[in-house]
């Protein structure tokens, strides 16, 4: 008989806190923390909730190396850069709460 681990549905930040056994909401992560989180979340399906009634599921492949507040990307062909934090606020009216944490990939 095969066995598989099941993860109860809960916010990712709660899962990460349980995984590490410490509070992750108020301080940056260490490199060891990032490695443990990456291993713990790799392949896990997550459902995004920032788009209201539009719910999509994604499979986690990793974490960004930088905290969310430092992430930027080009938004047009002129290479105009925008931060992830600004993008979510402008596009979805969503304020990212834990900008010291990395983004899921």
Say which DSSP state 87 is in.
H
Residue 30 lies in a domain: yes
103 token code pair: 């983004």
pLDDT attached to residue 20: 95
pLDDT attached to residue 53: 82
Q: Which domain holds residue 77?
A: 12-104
Do 38 and 24 form a contact (C-beta atoms < 8 A)?
no
CA distance 42 to 50: 21
Residue 77 lies in a domain: yes
Q: What CATH number did the domain enclosing 62 receive?
A: 2.170.260.10
Residue 24 lies in a domain: yes
Residue 31 lies in a domain: yes
pLDDT attached to residue 66: 94
**pTM assigned to the model:** 0.83
Mean pLDDT by 10 residues, the chain (105 residues): 65 94 90 95 90 88 95 93 96 94 96
Output b/e per residue, 52-82; b: 16+ Cβ within 10 A: eeeeeeeebeebeeebbeebeeeeeeeeeee
How many domains does the chain fold into? Answer: 1
E strands present in 33-97: 45-48, 56-59, 63-67, 72-74, 81-83
- Residue 36 host element (H or E): helix 31-41
Residue 97 lies in a domain: yes
Residue 6 lies in a domain: no
């Amino acid at each position: 008989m095969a066995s598989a681990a099941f993860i109860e549905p809960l916010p990712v930040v709660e899962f990460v806190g349980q995984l590490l056994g410490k509070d992750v909401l108020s301080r940056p992560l260490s490199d060891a923390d990032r490695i443990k989180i990456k291993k713990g979340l790799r392949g896990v399906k997550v459902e995004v909730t920032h788009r209201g009634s539009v719910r999509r599921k994604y499979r986690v492949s990793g974490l960004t190396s930088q905290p969310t507040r430092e992430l930027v990307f080009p938004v047009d062909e002129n290479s105009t850069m925008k931060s992830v934090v600004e993008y979510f606020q402008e596009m979805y009216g969503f304020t990212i709460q834990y900008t010291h944490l990395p983004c899921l990939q």
